[in-house]
């Protein structure tokens, strides 16, 4: 890889004028009384690198007395990545982890052969108006890792390398970019970078990663000759370096990495290279064979009919 070691645009940096392969406008979906915008999977693109699912949560204000209540539900064959820009969500899982998810921190839950978790507003935030804004992604596991033991890791914001220069702030959440590397070990080569840009600032995005997309979470950018607005995912062509220009104060995520080792089947909260494995997961959840979430055992999300 040619990893740029600076946030400045080199004089000889290539900037492909037609580098955008797809512009994906997300559809809306409800998760526990909270509306999200889902960019992956879509009809234009099922996955980018190992990412098979990408939701933007908010920005939204949950009024006092109400909150997010994503009841206990199962996963297999994937790792979930919850990354907040604003607000707080309480994560609980069947391994016994109970953790507040806060802005800038990394929370990576590996489902492997099976895990159950819930995501709710906390007891301190629920009585007051509270804002929630962030992304939730699923990373499909390599075939050889699909049945791994489940696990959970948390890294506070201070663990993740951050660069500040020329009106840009870049935090490397997963992978390596701009001369910095995240301490997080991932099952396959993955890139996930949080970028904040002042209006008018310019950032090079090299062609270092085989598959890449830019998720505009706030604001608006120009890239590859196209305007991309908030909530939209721009999938870049392989091999094309591009320059991102912020039209306003903007927040962009670079998402991607190594392509998966074959197609994946997605059904509800399950991901697998095997359709038979999905059927087994359905039967196991319906029969109550998944583990429970300590401290959150009173309700669950039933298997969709």
Q: What is the pLDDT of residues 184-222, one digit of tens each?
A: 999 999 999 999 999 999 999 999 999 999 999 999 999
Structure confidence at residue 34 (pLDDT) = 67
Question: CA-CA distance, 86 to 88, in Å (whole number)?
Answer: 7
- Residue matched to tokens 């000759």: 225
Closest CA to 61 of 25, 81, 87, 93: 87
Question: CA-CA distance, 187 to 31, in Å (whole number)?
Answer: 27
Q: Which residue has the higher pLDDT, 67 or 52?
A: 52
Hey, what are 76's tokens? Answer: 């297999």
Model confidence band, residue 32 (pLDDT cutoffs 50, 70, 90)? low
Question: CA-CA distance, 182 to 266, in Å (whole number)?
Answer: 28
- State the chain's mean pLDDT as an integer: 94
Structure confidence at residue 1 (pLDDT) = 44
pLDDT over 90 at 36, yes or no = no
Model confidence band, residue 29 (pLDDT cutoffs 50, 70, 90)? confident
Question: CA-CA distance, 52 to 27, in Å (whole number)?
Answer: 15
Structure confidence at residue 41 (pLDDT) = 95
**pTM exceeds 0.75:** yes
- Residue matched to tokens 């301490």: 183
Question: CA-CA distance, 98 to 119, in Å (whole number)?
Answer: 10
Hey, what are 233's tokens? Answer: 């995912």
Question: Are residues 301 and 71 in contact, defined by beta-carbon separation less than 8 angstroms?
Answer: yes
Mean pLDDT within 141-157: 97
Question: CA-CA distance, 270 to 113, in Å (whole number)?
Answer: 10
Structure confidence at residue 30 (pLDDT) = 72
């Amino acid at each position: 890889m040619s990893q740029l070691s600076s946030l400045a645009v080199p004089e000889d940096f290539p900037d492909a004028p037609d580098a955008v392969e797809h512009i994906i406008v997300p559809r809306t979906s409800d998760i526990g009384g909270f509306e999200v915008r889902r960019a992956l999977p879509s009809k234009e693109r099922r996955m980018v690198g190992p990412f098979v699912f990408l939701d933007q949560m908010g920005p939204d204000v949950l009024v006092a007395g109400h909150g997010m209540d994503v009841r206990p539900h199962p996963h297999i064959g994937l790792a979930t990545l919850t990354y907040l820009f604003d607000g707080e969500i309480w994560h609980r899982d069947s391994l016994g982890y109970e953790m507040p998810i806060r802005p800038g921190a990394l929370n990576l839950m590996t489902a492997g052969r099976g895990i159950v978790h819930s995501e709710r507003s906390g007891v301190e935030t629920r009585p007051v108006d509270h804002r929630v804004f962030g992304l939730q992604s699923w990373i499909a596991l390599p075939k050889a890792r699909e049945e791994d033991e489940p696990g959970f890791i948390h890294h506070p914001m201070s663990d993740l390398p951050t660069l500040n220069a020329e009106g840009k702030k870049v935090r490397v959440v997963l992978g390596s970019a701009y001369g910095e590397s995240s301490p997080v070990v991932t099952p396959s080569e993955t890139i996930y970078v949080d970028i904040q840009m002042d209006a008018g600032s310019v950032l090079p995005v090299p062609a270092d990663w085989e598959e890449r997309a830019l998720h505009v979470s706030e604001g608006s950018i120009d890239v590859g000759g196209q305007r991309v607005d908030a909530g939209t995912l721009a999938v870049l062509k392989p091999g094309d370096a591009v320059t991102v220009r912020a039209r306003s104060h903007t927040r962009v995520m670079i998402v991607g990495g190594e392509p998966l080792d074959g197609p994946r089947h997605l059904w509800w909260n399950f991901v697998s290279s095997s359709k038979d494995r999905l059927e087994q997961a359905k039967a196991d959840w319906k029969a109550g064979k998944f583990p429970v979430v300590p401290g959150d055992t009173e309700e669950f999300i039933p298997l969709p009919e």
